[in-house]
Amino acid sequence: MEHKTKPKVLMYYAFEDMVGGPLVYLRSIMNSELKDKFEFVACFQNAAPGGWDGKLYKRMVEQIRREKPDIVHVHGLQSEGMYGVMAARKAGCKHIVTTVHGFAFDAQRPHSIKYMLYRYFVEPWTLRKSKAVYCVCKYASDRPIMKKHAGKNSVGYIHNAVPDMIATRDRATVRGEYGIADDEVVFVIAGRVAQAKGFDLLAEAVKLLEQTHERFRLMVVGDGDYTEAFSAQVSAQIEAGRVILVGKTDRVADYLAACDVFVLPSFHENLPIALLEAGKMGLPCVASAVGGVPEAVLDGQTGFLITERDAARYAACMARFIDDPALLRTMGAAMKADVDERFSMKTMCQKIEELYVDGLAL
């Protein structure tokens, strides 16, 4: 009987050590049940071009050609999306899938050179030249840029999902390492430490909250280019142990298990992996009602959504969890149940498999 090899899928992303949801997402797919049906290989730029880089482009074309994939799955837009799609096309791959995790121009100053470049050239080109495009939330798939440039190549959205989170240390052990008492409520923010994640607002909210409440901490899991600035804003709170900077770690589940409430005061988001990971661990959420976040947080049931950029509102919502342990438990259980039901790996993988199979049949 003739042996048929599994179709090869090359997963393309910017950096193999970048903190953030897209890399977690990529790895979750590669380690999912889909690996029984597809052969996955990873391909990373590991370079930020900052403009056109012919040597980088040539290197990526050669790397893709060596792998000879049936499908190239590009994760993200920005420059890596453009380089990935260009290199895949040049390497002769006919089926290119692009996942939109966000739009780079959202993080740029309006009408700046970078904004104009990403908004009107780089990202539209990537959307048009991909064979199939999907977003990780409905909010993104409904945006004008998708309708105009992805067009018939758009297959809508496939919600992010996360696998089961397994802690290697128990709650008491992690809390003990930081001297956190059983009755203290620990708020946590995880992922990339960037100004756009609302760390200025979070610093102000913590200072307001500590004027009325004592039994709480804030844990920051991750790092980024805004770590130093945020540390300066809360230096007194760090010294007092109120704010705990964990830094980059591959044991996120350990820290989420030790915490109680996830906070996310971002300026813009699609569907954050970190939010779903926290929900999977049974943490309710206090988050800004931006992008796809309202698709994952049911306001008043699994957390609180805040529409205005007001530190006092964040502090007030955080205070409700300190004042009402029963509310914390109820919302946490509801959040876990909702994430398990609506954002399952099984559902996500089924939809991605359909996308791969349809592409291979072309």
pLDDT value at residue 20: 73
The model's pLDDT over 252-306, given as tens digits with 9 standing for 90+, comes to: 999 999 999 999 999 999 999 999 999 999 999 999 999 999 999 999 999 999 9
DSSP string, 252-275: HHHHHHH-SEEEE--SS-SS-HHH
> How many CB atoms neighbour CB 25 within 10 A?
24
Window from 9-18, 55-64, 140-149, 293-302 with minimum mean pLDDT: 9-18
Q: pTM above the 0.85 mark?
A: yes
Ordered by where they begin, the domains of the chain are 8-161+344-360 (3.40.50.2000), 171-342 (3.40.50.2000)
Buried b (16+ CB within 10 A) or exposed e, 71-105: bbbbbbbbbbbbbbbbbbbebebebbbbbbbbbbb
Q: 3 pLDDT exceeds 70?
A: no
CA distance 67 to 65: 5
Tally helices (H) and strands (E) across the chain. 17, 12
pLDDT value at residue 1: 35
pLDDT value at residue 32: 95
CB 272 within 8 A of CB 199: no
DSSP string, 77-138: SHHHHHHHHHHHHHTT-S-EEEEE---GGGGSPTTSHHHHHIIIIIHHHHHHHSSEEEESSH
Q: 361 pLDDT exceeds 70?
A: no
The model's pLDDT over 310-356, given as tens digits with 9 standing for 90+, comes to: 999 999 999 999 999 999 999 999 999 999 999 999 999 999 999 99
Share the mean pLDDT of the chain.
93
CA distance 320 to 306: 14
DSSP string, 183-249: T-EEEEEES---GGGTHHHHHHHHHHHTTT--SEEEEEEB--TTHHHHHHHTHHHHHTTSEEEEES-
Q: 2 pLDDT exceeds 50?
A: no
CB 49 within 8 A of CB 83: yes
Q: 16 pLDDT exceeds 50?
A: yes
The model's pLDDT over 205-263, given as tens digits with 9 standing for 90+, comes to: 999 999 999 999 999 999 999 999 999 999 999 999 999 999 999 899 999 999 999 99
pLDDT value at residue 359: 74
Q: What is the mean predicted confidence (pLDDT) over 157-177? A: 94
Say what percent of the chain tops pLDDT 90.
83
